[in-house]
């Protein structure tokens, strides 16, 4: 969808992006604060998550959570919020005809929460239910346990449930007051935004009754560390193997490197004809497999993960080793690179067909490190990825020998060690 972008830096402190999509029939909003778990005491880890649940509830305008939601949703509008290690983000989407009403309600909930005792009790129960249900997601459980082991800000859902009892209502208030400030606020709003509507948005945000604050807190300095034995999580009820393989680089990737690594993932695991997943499926070894990269403030992580029957795990690992070794050795066919670029271009165009899709193309990066992507330049960036860059960044992700493997299942620690020893040579290549 055609759109234009305008950056706003308001005199009161908030900063954000306005995305005008002239043909849009909906408006979407995302408002983010650097307010995640890294900013609270480890023993009160669940404070941000509990606060996020409470905030879209009772407020000075409508002093009961259920009534507030009824008012918000009466014309089909949607709202939600999410908490991670770094940020809390509040989001909403509504029909174009009621955009101003919905933005007003969202801003009221953010600036005038009541944090009632009875709602704190109720949402504590809801959060506990949420965490229990998430703990049944074996990939999530394994991923969080690994991140904690590597030294990142993370705890498993079962750990978080145990720590919930330490969080009191006064902790919610304290965290809210220290993080929900004007200078810590970032926003992205997308839809049919005329100059007149932009002026209304500016006026609404500039009128927010929040403290100025002292700016946006820096992201934590998470330095990944190698784990010298596999993280094994025994679950007697799981007959398959869930695994993650992680490799780290102690710096952030450049945009050029990130584009190249993204293309490597496309070639290796993203399609049913990809080098790893396609080969494994052709041999009947695995139903699905993923790989991707993540970045923190000072490091980068390339991971591979899948669920596989124990008897198929070692043959699958052989394929992973073989295909990564080919890239390390420069054995990358020009035709494979060209086909991956075409797939990536098509995927990018599909992602831009909705207002929400366009917003996500900007907000994820903007909220993380305040970089504003040049959306219309992405196709050229994909076309300009060079084979040599793919090879170089793939090798760089393994050259520092910082890595680990996590296994969840019921095959025991000896089997986990066998898989670790099998994959270990990838970090010994020169």
Please give the Cα distance from 357 to 351 (Å, whole number): 5
Res 49: pLDDT: 97
Interval 197-218 mean pLDDT: 96
pLDDT tens for each residue of 41-83 = 999 999 999 999 999 999 999 999 999 999 999 999 999 999 9
pTM of the shown model: 0.94
Domain ranges for the chain: 4-206, 231-427
Q: Is the pLDDT of residue 1 over 80?
A: no
What per-residue confidence (pLDDT) applies to 351?
A: 87
Which DSSP string corresponds to 134-160? HHT-HHHHHHHHHHHHHTSS---HHHH
* For residue 353, pLDDT beyond 90: no
183: CB partners within 8 A, 6+ apart: 13, 14, 212, 213, 214, 215, 216
What's the CATH code, domain 4-206? Answer: 3.30.830.10
Return the pLDDT at 418.
Answer: 98
Look over the chain and give the mean of its residue pLDDT values, rounded to a whole number: 96
pLDDT-derived band at 416 (thresholds 50, 70, 90) equals very high
Which pLDDT score, from 0 to 100, does residue 107 have? 98
Do 4-206 and 231-427 show the same overall fold?
yes
Residues 6+ apart with CB under 8 A from 226: 248, 401, 402, 403, 404
Residue 148 has pLDDT above 80, yes or no: yes
pLDDT in tens, 104-139: 999 999 999 999 999 999 999 999 999 999 989 999
The SS3 of residue 166 is helix
> Does the pLDDT value for residue 430 go beyond 90?
no
The pLDDT assigned to 429 comes to: 66
Q: What is the pLDDT of residues 278-301, one digit of tens each?
A: 999 999 999 999 999 999 999 999
Provide CATH code, domain 231-427.
3.30.830.10
């Amino acid at each position: 969808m055609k759109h234009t972008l305008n950056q706003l830096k308001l005199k009161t402190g908030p900063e954000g992006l306005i995305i005008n999509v002239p043909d849009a029939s909906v408006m979407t909003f995302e408002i983010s604060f650097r307010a995640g778990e890294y900013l609270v005491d480890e023993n009160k880890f669940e404070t941000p998550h509990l606060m996020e649940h409470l905030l879209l509830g009772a407020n000075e305008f409508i002093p009961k959570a259920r009534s507030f939601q009824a008012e918000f949703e009466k014309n089909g509008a949607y709202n939600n919020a999410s908490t991670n290690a770094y940020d809390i983000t509040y989001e909403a989407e509504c029909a174009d005809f009621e955009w101003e009403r919905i933005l007003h309600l969202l801003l009221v909930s953010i600036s005038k929460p009541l944090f009632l005792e009875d709602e704190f009790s109720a949402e504590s129960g809801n959060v506990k239910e949420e965490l229990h249900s998430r703990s049944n997601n074996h990939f999530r459980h394994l991923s969080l346990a690994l991140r904690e082991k590597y030294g990142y800000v993370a705890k498993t859902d079962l750990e978080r449930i145990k720590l919930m009892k330490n969080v009191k209502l006064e902790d919610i208030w304290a965290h809210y007051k220290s993080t929900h400030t004007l200078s810590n606020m970032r926003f992205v709003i997308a839809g049919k935004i005329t100059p007149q509507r932009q002026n209304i948005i500016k006026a609404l945000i500039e009128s927010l009754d929040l403290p100025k604050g002292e700016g946006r807190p820096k992201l934590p300095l998470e330095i990944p560390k190698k784990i010298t034995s596999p993280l094994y999580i025994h679950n007697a009820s799981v007959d398959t193997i869930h695994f993650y393989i992680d490799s780290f680089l102690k710096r952030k990737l450049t945009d050029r490197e990130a584009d190249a690594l993204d293309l490597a993932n496309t070639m290796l695991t993203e399609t049913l004809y990809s080098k790893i997943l396609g080969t494994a499926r052709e041999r009947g070894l695995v139903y699905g497999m993923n790989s991707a990269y993540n970045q923190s403030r000072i490091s980068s992580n390339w991971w591979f993960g899948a669920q596989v029957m124990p008897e198929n795990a070692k043959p699958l690992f052989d394929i992973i080793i073989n295909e990564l070794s080919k890239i390390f050795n420069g054995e990358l066919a020009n035709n494979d690179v060209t086909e991956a670029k075409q797939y990536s271009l098509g995927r990018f165009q599909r992602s831009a067909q909705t207002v929400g899709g366009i917003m996500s193309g900007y907000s994820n990066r903007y909220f993380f490190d305040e970089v504003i992507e040049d959306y219309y330049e992405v196709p050229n960036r994909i076309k300009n990825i060079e084979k040599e860059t793919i090879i170089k960044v793939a090798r760089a992700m393994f050259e520092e020998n910082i890595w680990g493997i996590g296994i969840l299942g019921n095959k025991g620690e000896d089997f986990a060690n066998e898989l670790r020893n099998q994959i270990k040579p990838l970090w010994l290549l020169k």
